Amino acid sequence: MKKILMLILLIMVIFSFLISCSNKSEENTITVQRPSQRNELVFYEEIAKEFTKQTGIKVEFQALPPSPEERLQTIVTAMRSKQKNPDVLWMDVAWVGQVVGANWLAPMKTDVTPFFEGTIKNVLDENNNPYALPMFVDLGMFFYRTDLLEKYNREVPQTWKQLVDTAMYIQQEERAAGNKQFWGYTWTGAQTETLVVYFLEHALSKGTGIYDKNGNINLNTAENREALQTMVDFSLKYNITAPDNYIRGEGETMEFYQTGNVLFQRNWPFVWAIHNSDNSPIKGNVGVALIPKYEGGKNVSGLGGWFWGVSAYSDNKEGAQKWVEFVTSKGIQERLAKELGFFPGRKDIYQNEEILKQYPIFADFEQSLKYAAARPVVPYYSEMARILKEKFNAAISQTLTIEEALKQAQKELEVIEAQYSQN
């Protein structure tokens, strides 16, 4: 009798398991990572309902922490333990190379022609299938005060030398007129990811960067020393950048420019809408241009943005890919631009007259994309960024010399690269 009861119990357990598997299949649910900002939260909740209505696939969101470093750690933890959830990963463009290198993403067989080549060329496999697609992109941009350039009959600077000359002249005139707090140029000097991007904009304009043509780390070069020296000299030599600039992140840089006491600013596109909002003291007086270049060099704009990718451990890769294709479709990308003011990764959105009228900066953004430069796509990028922003910030704050900063960064990067090469 006891054996019969045990057999019945075993059959019931197996039956319950089969029922649960059947229910999971019928539910056809995917787990999707998403941003934690409130305006984005509402946007994605709405489009998730539309996605479910069209496909029958339910969406469960996994909220990510606000800190980029914590977001990356969430992905790393889930992938190292080979968790089936989340099915869809939400990644900074700088992380994609690291995630691909760890074999944590499944390539998607989908058309990539609608997207800007510069945003996806580093996320394709050997068959041109993308490991990830961009939801929106960011790009380093140069902002200037149209009213002040007109007042002093000056042109928008094309080179860094022209920027220095114009900034020094107008700063001197404004201070002589009584505005003693006026500065010529502000940019993000704090120990953040943007500082790494800003250095690359300078270095790549000179034709160098972190690696040489053979792919070897070659940071401590004459060109890179000159690029970092220029960044230091904006404050130390030319006195057009405030001496406390090394503690300002993107938000603080934006707020400083918003006071109306700065002529030029390097920042991300999000600041344009803020500077032109109804309560802004500089509304209608902010223009956008390409980031200046060095004499004989080229214009470079650092590329940023956020991508969707399908986890290699997902048990519903088909449903996950459908989500990625849905949210990067033309209709959803148009809504992203109109409702959030974000810059989509699709080329066709920038031809939309209604969006161009609502956000004139979109025309400038598309032009700047031609000069976009991605950060290094390497599996150890997070460690690389930590080292570079620490050393660059030390040089800017003058706790290290230019050469000390680059030598130390090169040495530490070589150690990390060697460690990854052994694995």
- Contact between residue 184 and residue 171 where contact means Cβ atoms under 8 Å apart: yes
Task: State which amino acid sits at residue 284.
Answer: G
Separation CA 96–CA 100 (nearest Å): 6
| pTM greater than 0.85 (yes/no) | no
Average pLDDT over residues 251-262: 96
pLDDT at 27: 60
Question: Taking Cα atoms as reference points, which of 75, 61, 302, 85 lies closest to residue 202?
Answer: 302
- Contact between residue 337 and residue 343 where contact means Cβ atoms under 8 Å apart: yes
Mean pLDDT of the chain: 90
- Digit-coded pLDDT (tens) for 92-141: 888 888 898 889 999 999 999 999 887 888 788 888 999 999 999 889 99
More reliable by pLDDT, 145 or 250: 145
Separation CA 325–CA 110 (nearest Å): 8
Please name each of the domains of the chain with its CATH number. Answer: 29-137+305-364 (3.40.190.10), 141-302+375-422 (3.40.190.10)
pLDDT at 418: 92
Separation CA 255–CA 105 (nearest Å): 38
Separation CA 346–CA 119 (nearest Å): 10
**Above 90 in pLDDT, residue 1?**
no
Question: Taking Cα atoms as reference points, which of 97, 254, 141 lies closest to residue 190?
Answer: 254
Question: Taking Cα atoms as reference points, which of 299, 297, 292 lies closest to residue 372?
Answer: 299
The alpha carbon torsion through 230, 236, 240, 245 (nearest 10 deg) reads 90
- Contact between residue 303 and residue 97 where contact means Cβ atoms under 8 Å apart: no
List beta partners, residue 183.
262
Query: 361: pLDDT confidence band, cut at 50, 70 and 90?
Result: confident
203 Cα distance to chain centroid: 19
* Pick from 172-176, 265-269, 295-299, 370-374: least confident: 370-374
Query: 302: pLDDT confidence band, cut at 50, 70 and 90?
Result: very high
The alpha carbon torsion through 18, 19, 22, 28 (nearest 10 deg) reads -120
**Above 80 in pLDDT, residue 79?**
yes
Token pair of 85 as six digits: 């959830």
Query: 305: pLDDT confidence band, cut at 50, 70 and 90?
Result: confident
pLDDT at 25: 43
Lookup result for tokens 């048990």: 315
Q: Which whole-number Å values give the CA distances from 67 to 36, 60, 73, 134, 414, in the listed order? A: 10, 21, 10, 20, 27
More reliable by pLDDT, 68 or 218: 218
Query: 22: pLDDT confidence band, cut at 50, 70 and 90?
Result: very low
- The CB-side HSE value for 203 (13 A sphere, CA atoms) comes to 25
Helix (H) or strand (E) holding 134: strand 132-139
pLDDT at 4: 53
Helix (H) or strand (E) holding 45: helix 38-55
**Above 60 in pLDDT, residue 350?**
yes
pLDDT at 377: 78
Strands (E), 53-121: 58-63, 88-92, 105-106
